[in-house]
Amino acid sequence: MALGVAVGMYGLSFGAAASAAGLSVLQACAMSSLIFTGASQFALVGVLGAGGSAAAGVATALLLGTRNAMYAVILAERIPMSPQRKLLAAQVTIDESTAVSVTSSKPLAGVGFWSAGLTVYVMWNLMTLAGAAGAASVDTHALGLDAAVGAAFLGLLWPRLREAWPVALGGALLALIAVPLTPAGVPVLIAALAVLPRLVRR
């Protein structure tokens, strides 16, 4: 829940960015409540803010959102659910809820998933509203919100780096190479390829 509050605060940045890109408060809030995946949302408003078309923005957002489908495969094995509950789970299957679930012991995987996912969802939407409504007065850099997501993930991943440091290093190198050559957001997807050698060995 602490992670959810910290990451959810980053929604303040999204609300301000959406307003700067020309979206209304209602449109910004609708994106957060319906799309609810930060990278995709930032990608979409980034394209719109740079003068790109809505189609280009949606395509970029969809590309970044594909990773959430992969998370569902992992979570299906750890958290048995009824079909009805899966509909709700799909909405909160994000980086944070997945990370907390897979770093928890299996009996607590569901608790970790729901507590992180629902807390981020509530905070993200509240902060989107606050950021969009008060965009002119929000200084996200001064508040340190631009670093919140990275810091939260480092905290989650740190205990696993001892066993997975080659994958982490490989992913970082792939991302660094891809940054000047690919559109924003794509380096993250390319970095995921670093896990392939480990999967082949298994």
Digit-coded pLDDT (tens) for 20-64: 888 899 999 999 999 998 888 887 887 787 777 787 778 878 877
With a cut of 80, say whether residue 159 has pLDDT above it: no
Domain chopping of the chain, boundaries: 2-161
Q: Please give the pLDDT value at position 160.
A: 65
Residue 12 to residue 148: CA distance in whole angstroms: 11
**Which contacts qualify for 52-59: CB closer than 8 Å, 24 or more apart?**
none
Closest CA relative to residue 9, chosen from 120, 97, 91, 136: 120
With a cut of 70, say whether residue 196 has pLDDT above it: yes
24 and 41 Cβ atoms separated by less than 8 Å: no
148 and 136 Cβ atoms separated by less than 8 Å: no
